[in-house]
């Protein structure tokens, strides 16, 4: 591991000032960044520990929640208001990693965790994300876990976070603070598709800090869930996942819904085409298939991951049918 400086920030301004140094990076729980440093993929000159910053969950005036970026994943999933009002989020977080890792991992670090593409972690492989212009060994390699939506010639990696899929379905908004001041940005617009520059993964500006994540009030959020399909029952990343929030009218027709897919793209994938196809419909097999077809119309399978298209269709349908069955 390359030597680095370590600083613990006492407040956001101190963190931003410390991170202005060349090669500085913020440090959350370290569960991803330290691995990447050990593998020689990241070599920050300075780590600015931000785990002592905003670490609580507050009610907002609008009836939502403001979750500090330093809140640990376990604390988020166990928080009563999260479990009761945003069950999709609690389930998504609990489906990720292991208890020990969730105890360390923070909300900010989870949003910024990097892909699990095996070639990205293999220093001997060609990877445009590690080294722009180098090529992408995943394209012609073993690409079972890779993207079916929104990928590019340059990169076919997926975003690994479960939490972010639920947050995108719940219309979460990031609170960012940086050298140029504070701003907010919907999480849906934060992660980028790979395009020509898969190394540029988010809209975060140089030195900017994730301060908090805001969950807006959702009238129907109690009927939300997260379903993750993976190779093992625990301790595995999603092959495909679905976060859904559903509001059914008394006639059984969809009044409103929010859908996002994980494991399919370089970013958590808000499934707006499927949402549009289902509004006003009954959740029967035909409507669900039409919605999935609309969402997956542009899916482009690689050699080893064609199964993800049918898996996404079935997971979407099973998630929504399960939610509609929860009605009293
Ligand atoms: C074995 C294993 C299995 C896992 N399985 C899953 C899984 O199934 N699902 C899943 O979703 N995740 C999984 N994870 C990933 C885990 O969720 C992430 O490692 C974790 O969420 C990262 O959080 P952290 O606080 O440790 O981030 P760190 O490792 O500290 O940081 C990650 C990145 O975020 C940046 N950062 C941290 N905080 C801030 C901030 N406030 N502002 C700006 N930048 C910041 C850092 O600079 C770094 O670039 C797994 C991890 C491991 C090791
Ligand atoms: S898919 Fe992306 S992360 Fe994986 S090897 Fe190709 S460029 Fe690198």
Of 141, 158, 207, 175, nearest to 65 by C-alpha is: 175
Query: Is the Cβ atom of 32 under 6 angstroms away from ligand 1?
Result: yes
CA distances from 276 to 265, 272, 280 (A): 20, 6, 9
Please state, in angstroms and rounded to a whole number, the distance separating the CA atoms of residues 29 and 103: 9
Query: Is the Cβ atom of 104 under 6 angstroms away from ligand 1?
Result: yes
At which of 51, 72, 88 does a domain end?
51
Distance from the alpha carbon of residue 188 to the mean position of ligand 2, in angstroms = 22
Distance from the alpha carbon of residue 213 to the mean position of ligand 1, in angstroms = 15
Please state, in angstroms and rounded to a whole number, the distance separating the CA atoms of residues 28 and 45: 16
> Relative to the alpha carbon of 160, which ligand is closest?
1
| Whole-number pLDDT of residue 326 | 52
Q: What CATH number does residue 255 fall under?
A: 3.30.390.50
Whether residue 168 lies inside any domain: the answer is: no
* Residue with tokens 């819904």, as numbered in its chain: 257
Whether residue 314 lies inside any domain: the answer is: yes
At which of 30, 51, 72 does a domain end?
51
| Whole-number pLDDT of residue 89 | 98
Burial of 245 by CB count in 10 Å (0-12 exposed, 13-18 middle, 19+ buried)? buried
CB contact at 8 A, 210 and 62: no
Whether residue 296 lies inside any domain: the answer is: yes
| Whole-number pLDDT of residue 37 | 97
Burial of 284 by CB count in 10 Å (0-12 exposed, 13-18 middle, 19+ buried)? exposed
Whether residue 293 lies inside any domain: the answer is: yes
> Relative to the alpha carbon of 131, which ligand is closest?
2
pTM of the predicted protein model: 0.98
| Whole-number pLDDT of residue 221 | 53
- The tally of domains found in the chain comes to 2
3-state secondary structure 127-179: ECCCCCCCCEHHHHCCCCCCCCCCCCCCCCCCCCCCHHHHHHHCCCEEEEEEC
Domain containing 286 equals 226-324
| Whole-number pLDDT of residue 222 | 59
As a dihedral over the C-alpha atoms of residue 284, residue 230, residue 99, residue 107, rounded to 10 degrees, the angle is -70
* Residue bearing the CA closest to ligand 1, atom 51: 97
DSSP string for residues in 66-78: EEETT-BHHHHHH
- For residue 279, report the phi and psi dihedrals to the nearest 5 degrees: -60, 130
- Residues in a beta bridge with 136: 127
| Cα 243 versus chain centre, distance | 11
> Relative to the alpha carbon of 268, which ligand is closest?
1
Whether residue 165 lies inside any domain: the answer is: no
At which of 34, 51, 68 does a domain end?
51
Whether residue 140 lies inside any domain: the answer is: no
Whether residue 138 lies inside any domain: the answer is: no
Q: What CATH number does residue 16 fall under?
A: 3.30.43.10
Whether residue 262 lies inside any domain: the answer is: yes
| Whole-number pLDDT of residue 327 | 45
Which protein residues touch ligand 2 with a CB less than 6 Å away? 115, 117, 119-120, 127-129, 136-138, 155-157, 198
| Whole-number pLDDT of residue 328 | 35
Residues of the chain falling short of pLDDT 50: 327-328
């Amino acid at each position: 591991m390359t030597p680095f400086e370590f600083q613990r920030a006492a407040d956001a301004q101190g963190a931003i000032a410390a991170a202005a140094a060349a090669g500085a990076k913020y440090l959350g729980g370290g569960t991803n960044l330290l691995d990447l440093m050990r593998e020689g993929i990241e070599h920050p000159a300075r780590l600015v520990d931000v785990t002592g910053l905003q670490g609580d969950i507050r009610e907002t005036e609008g009836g939502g929640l403001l979750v500090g970026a330093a809140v640990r994943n376990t604390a988020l999933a166990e928080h009563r208001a999260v479990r009761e009002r945003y069950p999709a989020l609690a389930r998504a977080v609990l489906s990720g990693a292991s208890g020990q890792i969730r105890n360390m991992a923070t909300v900010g670090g989870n949003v910024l965790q990097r892909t699990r593409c095996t070639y990205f972690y293999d220093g001997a492989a060609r990877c445009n994300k590690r080294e722009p212009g180098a090529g992408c060994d995943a394209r012609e390699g073993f690409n079972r876990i890779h993207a079916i939506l929104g990928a590019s010639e340059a990169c076919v990696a997926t975003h690994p976070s479960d939490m972010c899929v639920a947050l995108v379905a719940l219309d979460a908004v990031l609170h960012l603070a940086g050298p140029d001041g504070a701003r907010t940005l919907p999480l849906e617009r934060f992660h980028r598709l790979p395009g020509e520059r898969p190394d540029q993964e988010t809209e975060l500006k140089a030195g900017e800090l994730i301060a908090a994540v805001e969950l807006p009030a959702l009238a129907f959020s109690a009927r939300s869930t997260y379903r993750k399909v993976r190779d093992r029952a625990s301790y595995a990343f999603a092959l495909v996942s679905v976060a859904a929030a559903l509001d059914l009218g008394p006639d059984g027709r969809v009044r409103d819904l929010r859908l996002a897919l994980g494991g399919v793209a370089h970013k958590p994938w808000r499934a707006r085409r499927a949402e549009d196809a289902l509004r006003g419909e009954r959740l029967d097999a035909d409507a669900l298939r039409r919605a999935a077809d609309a969402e997956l119309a542009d899916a482009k399978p690689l050699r080893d991951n064609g199964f993800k298209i049918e898996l996404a269709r079935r997971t979407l349908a099973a998630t929504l049918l399960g939610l509609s069955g929860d009605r009293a």
